[in-house]
A and B are shown apart, each in its own frame.
Chain A
């Protein structure tokens, strides 16, 4: 994959060494969170979150609904401000690092009836406000949003088409977004996020429930594509696809108001690596989610996808094929 990006973020840090494994200490962390707290109507949503994500890491954020996964993602993106604590993305505050981040929101947040083609939507991924050196600001500043924010030239079209083809939806480039299937839309959102990537600079891809609309087989292909980005970017994925945790992520964090990082070794100890597929999820989910285990939405979601491995006291939903 070699997309060239038309409008690199002006505030991105300088390029870093290519070999991520060779000099880990010399690199700035992709994401560094320290003592982060976030409240919603006086109720703690996230408490004392401390996390370091190295460049090149693939991190999965798992946990029950309402546990704060999406909130954490939005804090990293700079869409929310923490009550206390610090957030650094490639050593910068989130608002200054927005040019180095690609965001794949849940599809439910976009408006699918907007009359726009897949290609046009991909082009939007390179959007940048007009440069205001050293004054990144998402609030106010209407003049920063005047005029052309993303290129619609032939080179940008070509790059967008390349990305769509890479994601296997090149033939749908001129289709309206509303005419795409759930899986195709999800791929489109990833193409759009990658459109903002500058190959010469570090890049953080954040995905919020990227496979919610995709069938199990499609999910596997989707994660295979994400795997092909290894070494080219850092990735944080909010996911309920707990079965996918092992092969694709080198870090797993459970977010349920607090955050506990689970090392890959611990995952393997719990039988994630190479075990029979129906034994892995319960072993991971139940101990990690503690009191929520039996009734945990994430675990229920898993059992819907892999009905051959129902949780204790539950049965596979009707109509689902048994593996």
Chain B
């Protein structure tokens, strides 16, 4: 196994896993706390439209997908925040569902209409962490930096949005703008994660590690750090298993995360049972 570490593709894969884990921890935590996994799923699937455009017009896929996802995510944020409440309270599920499937259908059609072989596109559907080009690594590092800077400057605002949007609005904070910011940041993270696990599995990586970290931490910063660590752990585990058994890395990363989540739930149940006071002591 260790001899694989000498190969550039494996080094790139490890670096990609590390860079994605940062985005996953930071954005995944906010997505989970704001109950936005449906919206994140929609952004991920609609991103296929961007891939279609890139393929049709022979543009670089990652920047093109990034632009398309940002545009579609802000449209979804607009739909989601139209109601009386600043965030997802106006039942926009149907419209977002249409964008979810519509964006993907648009991408499929563009790819079918494009000349040439489209085999590499399965990488976007199911992930291809072992085939991340070095140029994309630079872009991913840049996106991570951007996400961290945005988090740094808007930390309190994003906390206010996630904790109690009504109260934040009543204090005059620009809650709707925060919501757009968060959705835009989610689009950036989703595009990064697309390369690791693919658009079909992206929601799992955005939600499982933060869900596991939530019950173990007492602050948002700690939750983000721990979810990043969980995400990196699952990526490494999935990558190792993929190399050993020659199976799809994206699916194995998500399988490891799901197994990790199930293990945590089981351990929690056992612990609760042990902590439950016996009848004689409870009286």
Q: Which residues of A contact B (CB under 8 A)?
A: 74, 77-80, 95, 98-99, 101, 103, 105, 109-111, 113-117, 120-121, 124, 127-129, 136-142, 144-150, 176, 192, 196
Contact = CB atoms under 8 A, between A and B. Distances in A.
Q: What secondary structure prevails in chain B residues at the interface with A? A: helix
Contacts of B163: 110-111, 114, 116, 121, 124
A80 B84 contact: yes
A95 B159 contact: no
Nearest to B35: A111
A141 B172 CA distance: 11
Given A127-B160, A145-B173, A149-B160, A117 B218 contact: yes
B164 A129 contact: no
A280 B233 CA distance: 64
A103 B167 CA distance: 7
Given A127-B168, A140-B177, 7 more contacts: A115-B219, A115-B223, A116-B163, A141-B174, A142-B178, A149-B157, A192-B167
Interface of B: 33-34, 84, 153-154, 156-157, 159-160, 162-164, 166-178, 180-181, 214, 217-220, 222-223
A101 B170 contact: yes
Given A129-B174, A138-B172, A110 B223 contact: no
B174 A140 contact: yes
A128 B171 contact: yes
B154 A146 contact: yes
Given A111-B163, A149-B157, A192-B167, A142 B174 contact: yes
A142 B220 contact: no
B170 A110 contact: no
Given A105-B166, A115-B214, A129 B220 contact: no
A139 B33 CA distance: 22
26 contacts: A80-B84, A95-B172, A98-B172, A101-B170, A103-B166, A103-B167, A105-B166, A109-B166, A110-B167, A114-B163, A114-B220, A115-B214, A115-B222, A115-B223, A116-B219, A120-B219, A121-B163, A124-B160, A124-B163, A127-B168, A138-B173, A138-B175, A139-B176, A140-B176, A145-B173, A149-B157
Contacts of A140: 174, 176-177
B172 A150 contact: no
Nearest to A149: B156
A109 to B, nearest CB: 5
A152 B171 CA distance: 17
Contacts of A192: 167
Contact of B153 (A105, A113, A146): A146
Nearest to A140: B177
Contact of A127 (B173, B176, B180): B173
Contacts of B173: 127, 129, 138, 144-145, 149
Given A115-B220, A127-B156, A99 B172 contact: yes
Nearest to A152: B156
Contacts of B84: 74, 79-80
A138 B154 CA distance: 16
A196 B166 CA distance: 15
Contact of A98 (B153, B170, B214): B170
B222 to A, nearest CB: 7
A137 B171 CA distance: 11
Contacts of A176: 218
B218 A109 contact: no
A176 B153 CA distance: 25
